[in-house]
Structure 1
């Protein structure tokens, strides 16, 4: 399984992420299955889907399908089996992690044989430790159990103002700071795309 962790990208900008384009190009099958469970507002999710579908077609996908909660478990498992890429977009990280567990999607992600990509909150959730740094929606630094596809953590939308939170958290774990449009591609080893910072043992250094 190849894992793509993106530091943040706004699909509404009209541009395309080179990492998303590469993710599709590298995949044997060009079909994308989107797990858009980063909000419990179904109307909001439905409103975003046409834009996301157009975006994935623009980066080279042949099809872009979305998780349907009205479908049976068998169809969801078939989507996991036959898609080339499972994509977890951004949104509310807490809601995303909760939904991945309660909908039993985390277990399917761990067994997936295709590529898995996460953007922003999606990237955080795919790690073993999901680290939430302080922002408008997060009032205190928080560490939650993630899906565990990689044995390190990432901090999307990274800026040096996050260092005060990340340095102590890096004792006993490795954390990568990913500015927007930077990414990590993991396939047994870490490949950095764009500027990336590595936090470990309470110290910070450029990862590339």
Structure 2
């Protein structure tokens, strides 16, 4: 059974509450796959973030049996095989449409959709987990972009919502997609909480 966790980010590490959630589904020795948001130009940054999150996992008592990074340093075929065999798949943050374009060009979308393990999306990764990705100007995207994404969850989200900045743009988008709720979430101690607006 696929477990889907959507997050915004962890500026202070994993909270105790989030660590408990992770320990419910993730056991020591599982294999961890970190999917970059930009596959070609920031390998050093990708490695740093992967190691940074691995340290957070270790701090909550989870060590992995193997770790793989998906970006342009591996072949398309190897990337697909790696996603297929992942126990824990981390879709990183970064530029949301760029990440989705790489997922598509590497042929990873069907493998992610068939995943039976734990998928954790952070920021851009969580937006791309939705049925319809909505990248709004309000939430610091360069332009408004809306596209069909992975479809792992039936709603759309805004992972970096400032509850004091619910703009007309966000309200109009939530009305434009009435059959698909847009859930605005904010981070509280590492976990994202839904807000009713």
- Length-normalised TM-score, structure 1: 0.76
Out of 147, 154, 157, the position equivalent to 1:154 is: 157
1:1-150 correspondence runs (5 A): 1-10=2-11, 13=12, 15-17=13-15, 18-19=17-18, 21-27=20-26, 30-38=30-38, 40-63=41-64, 64-67=67-70, 69-134=72-137, 137-150=140-153
Contact 2:8 2:192 in 1 (8 A): no
**CA RMSD, 1 decimal:** 2.7
CA deviation vs aligned residue, 1:163-203 (integer Å, no higher than 9, x gap): 422222123220111112478xxxxxxxxx664124xxxxx
1:144 deviates by 2.3
Unaligned runs of 5+ in 1: 184-192, 199-203
Alignment correspondent of 1:167? 171
Range with bigger deviation, 21-30 or 44-53: 21-30
Are residues 135 and 112 of structure 1, via their aligned partners in 2, closer, same or farther at CA, if it must alter by over 3 Å? Answer: same
Contact 1:24 1:85 in 2 (8 A): no
SS at match of 1:34: strand
- Length-normalised TM-score, structure 2: 0.79
Are residues 3 and 49 of structure 1, via their aligned partners in 2, closer, same or farther at CA, if it must alter by over 3 Å? Answer: closer
Contact 1:31 1:62 in 2 (8 A): no
Are residues 49 and 2 of structure 1, via their aligned partners in 2, closer, same or farther at CA, if it must alter by over 3 Å? Answer: closer
Structure 1 distance, partners of 2:93, 2:159, is 10
CA deviation vs aligned residue, 1:44-65 (integer Å, no higher than 9, x gap): 2233333232223223332243
CA deviation vs aligned residue, 1:140-175 (integer Å, no higher than 9, x gap): 433122111111101011123134222221232201
The ranges of structure 1 where at least 4 consecutive aligned residues each deviate by more than 6 angstroms after the TM superposition are: none
Structure 2 distance, partners of 1:57, 1:31, is 14
Structure 2 distance, partners of 1:182, 1:148, is 27
Alignment correspondent of 1:196? 194
Structure 1 distance, partners of 2:146, 2:124, is 13
Contact 1:30 1:61 in 2 (8 A): no
Aligned residues: 187
Are residues 132 and 168 of structure 1, via their aligned partners in 2, closer, same or farther at CA, if it must alter by over 3 Å? Answer: same
CA deviation vs aligned residue, 1:104-141 (integer Å, no higher than 9, x gap): 12221101111211011110011011111225852443
